[in-house]
A and B are shown apart, each in its own frame.
Chain A
Amino acid sequence: MAEVNHISVKELTEKILNHEKLFILDVRNTGEFDDWKVEGENVEIHNQPYFDLMDGVEPVEEKLPKEEPIYVICAKGGSSQMVAEQIAEAGYDNVYSIEGGMKAYSEHLEPIKVGEVSDGEIYQFVRIGKGCLSYLIVSNGEGAIVDSNRMSTPYEQFVSKHQVDVKYVIDTHLHADHISGGKNLAEKLGADYYLPPKDAEGITFEFNDIQEDDELNVGSTKIKSFYSPGHTIGSTSYIVDDQYLLTGDILFIESIGRPDLAGKAEDWVSDLRETLYERYKKLSHDLIVLPAHYMSVDEMNDDGTVSENLGELYKENHGLNIEDEQEFRHAVTDNLPPQPNSYDEIRQTNLGKMDPEDEKRREMEIGPNRCAIK
């Protein structure tokens, strides 16, 4: 049998973040592909379902590059293996099956250093397969994690390798688009879990309130809370070391948050307006905005991080430049994109009202992120 190579999603992610030219053949069915796929600046991706390729690769042959490597991906890694073998048999000698498929890709977190803080640094954990961003602030051996994802292992491995004692695990708000790892991770690391109380209605487990202007100390670095409602009623931003503004789902690089996830678009739109057009405006425009999501690879810096200073966003981000209040109201409540898959179940899970099995949790998160508007 012809030889098939394998590549992990970590290696794949690194290639994407290094802007390498990649040819990917996605063999999932077209519905799934259209909903959600690997994206990257220099990624060329082509879809042909595996069940069209069971007898051979003719249906896709003219698309396959002769000289370059071919990376095959599917949902979980089984079909990509089969198709990669077919391609190799057809005489291609540089064929890779991506291990674990889109499932593994959607769960991979890539930690990238954003910059320095007092006696330490701040890392952005890029969940490239879903566009989620979470943060680790380290100072003098102590740490805080913000907006952690469901998968706790990548954080645990990272803090153990760098010998960080995590004191706080914090959520900016009650997430509806992905399952928070906050409570679970806090327990595993012996840390305290914080959530804005206004988002915690009906919560079934113990948590710590985060209130307006609270200060948490991590080593010699200060994390100040800053109430910024509008995406949810409790949405709270964090100012780290007077340098970074962690905005959660309120403000992104090329877009702004939307207020409708709990069916409250009309009620929350004035909060959102006030946060973006008054409260944030009074902050130093030198703050570096670090959001909880990004929607497209265009928002990524050359080093793979997603960040921009606040002043620049006030110039460039359309959502911050809608002078007319009525027009703003329309922009954030009309033509809203489709709701994230299973968003209500995700909120219930994040409140502890539902406790789905691991496989179900994974399924609930499948698909693209859709919480922003341009």
Chain B
Amino acid sequence: MEVNVNHVLDAKGLACPMPIVKTKKEIDQIEPGQVIEIQATDQGSTADLKAWAENTGHQYLGTKEEGDVLKHYVRKSSEEDTTETKHQDVLELENLKDRLEGDEQITILDVREPAEYAFGHIPGSINIPLGELEDRSEELNQDDDIHVICRTGNRSDLAAQKLSGKGFSSVKNVVPGMKDWDGPVNQNH
């Protein structure tokens, strides 16, 4: 399955250090929170990109191998971790886990970028990135019990406020988010 991204960088055939040098230049040009796909053939690029992202605060999502080509996915760091959440109805991850194990019919809305979702999401969750929610909210049922999740609880906070504003009756922001989720995970890349 293809992973949806905002930008694609072709670094195929380039030897170290060029894949990282080019990634750095490219990532300076894109918006915080956007996802870039880096195509490389240098085998060392995976470990280097991972370490570089860690050092710079960008989010390394994962790597897909297609023949000789490595496709790395990185999300540009954003300020999301520092803002306070405003949506009142909040649910802890642990409670979400309990609910998933119960018989109740619940909806999990994952508002991260498709590439983040592709490298690990809660089975059965629906993916609508925050940026598309305005246009796609009719895909959701207004009366469902909706649990919004992202990586850290901030994008999901914005999404929960938006849905409540649109008249959704039961919207919960799941905190902190996928970064601490230790329950079952699906991948679709």
Contacts and interface: CB of A to CB of B under 8 A. Distances in A.
A205 B16 CA distance: 38
Q: Is the interface of A mostly helix, strand, loop or mixed?
A: helix
A32 B16 contact: no
A79 B14 CA distance: 12
A158 interface: no
Interface residues of B, number: 14
A28 to B, nearest CB: 8
A76 B51 contact: no
B51 A75 contact: no
B24 A31 contact: no
A50 interface: yes
A79 B17 contact: yes
Nearest to A79: B17
Contacts of A54: 17, 20-21, 24
A76 B16 CA distance: 8
Contacts of B15: 76, 78
A29 B51 contact: yes
A51 B18 CA distance: 10
Interface string B27-63: 0000000000000000110011001100100000000
Interface string B1-25: 0000000000000011110110010
Contacts of A76: 15-16, 44
A335 to B, nearest CB: 28
Nearest to A30: B51
A78 B55 contact: no
B132 to A, nearest CB: 32
Interface string A211-247: 0000000000000000000000000000000000000
Contacts of B18: 78
A79 B16 contact: yes
Contact of B51 (A31, A78, A79, A363): A31
Contacts of B16: 50, 74-76, 78-79
B24 to A, nearest CB: 6
A22 to B, nearest CB: 23
A192 B20 CA distance: 48
Contacts of A50: 16-17, 20
Contacts of A32: 47
B25 to A, nearest CB: 9
Interface in A17-49: 29-32, 49
A52 interface: yes
Nearest to B23: A51
A271 B15 CA distance: 48
A82 interface: yes
Contacts of B24: 51, 54
B117 to A, nearest CB: 27
Contacts of A78: 15-18
B17 A29 contact: no
A55 to B, nearest CB: 9
A30 B48 CA distance: 9
Q: For the complex of A and B, list the 10 residue pairs with the smallest distance between their C-beta atoms, beginning with the closest.
A: A79-B17, A51-B52, A29-B51, A51-B20, A78-B15, A78-B16, A50-B17, A82-B17, A29-B48, A79-B16
Given A51-B17, A75-B44, 7 more contacts: A49-B48, A49-B52, A50-B16, A51-B55, A54-B24, A76-B15, A82-B17
